[in-house]
Amino acid sequence: MLDQVCQRIEDLSQSGRVRADASLGLIESQNVAQRLKEAGLSVYNHNLETASSFFDQICTTHTHQDRINTIQHCKSAGLRVCSGGIFGMGETVEQRAELAIELQELDVDVVPLNFLVRIEGTPLKDNDPLSPMEILTTIAAFRFALPQKEIMVAGGREVNLRSLQPLGLYAANSLFVSDYLTTPGQPASEDHRMIEDLGFRVVRH
């Protein structure tokens, strides 16, 4: 499987048309990360999801340290790392700060901030939603903790920020555009118009 993935990355990299990024789950060996880098991978996405002190209340299939190890393998291989979390799962404000410090210490490059969308049939469907102002405060706090990093407002922004969504871009410097893994986003054309209405310039990668 790794050989097939590396071959696909090589094909994409050599085409010159796209940048090869990947999200392939846990990496348990430095050699795997090195092979991905040598194949031409640019960025590895692997969210910490939440703070170490809260992680085992959300995930039981692996540990928070497993995720940290994956990020460290990728950084050691010279890959850029995209890693952030999801908020509104029941974590405290202190645990959000803990996550920011963990990402700071890992020296990740891009920090996507996701906000829980309550979906019927899931364990967190009855969680109280975060208010728009609490979300904006969270985005600003991550900008303060990671001043030189790319802060990306990602999943759940449309549902949770509602009419205050544009204000998130005063602290963040990028958006995840269009659909997410489990929920739909707004059309990219609306995002582009929102960015331009704020006086910012749309940059397409």
Find all residues with CB under 8 Å of 52, minimum gap 6, and list them.
Answer: 64, 65, 98, 102
For residue range 104-143, what is the model confidence (pLDDT) as tens digits? 999 999 999 999 999 899 999 999 999 999 999 999 999 9
Quote the CA–CA distance of 205 and 128 in Å, as a whole number.
35
pLDDT, one tens digit per residue, over 85-104 is 999 999 999 999 999 999 99
pTM over 0.85: yes
Could you give the CA distance from residue 162 to residue 66 in angstroms, rounded to a whole number? 35
User: Of 163, 178, 170, 162, whose CA–CA distance to 199 is shortest?
Assistant: 170
Locate 163 and state its tokens: 């009419």
- Angle formed by the axes of helices 30-39 and 64-76, nearest 10°: 50
* CA-based torsion, 159, 163, 166, 169: positive or negative: negative
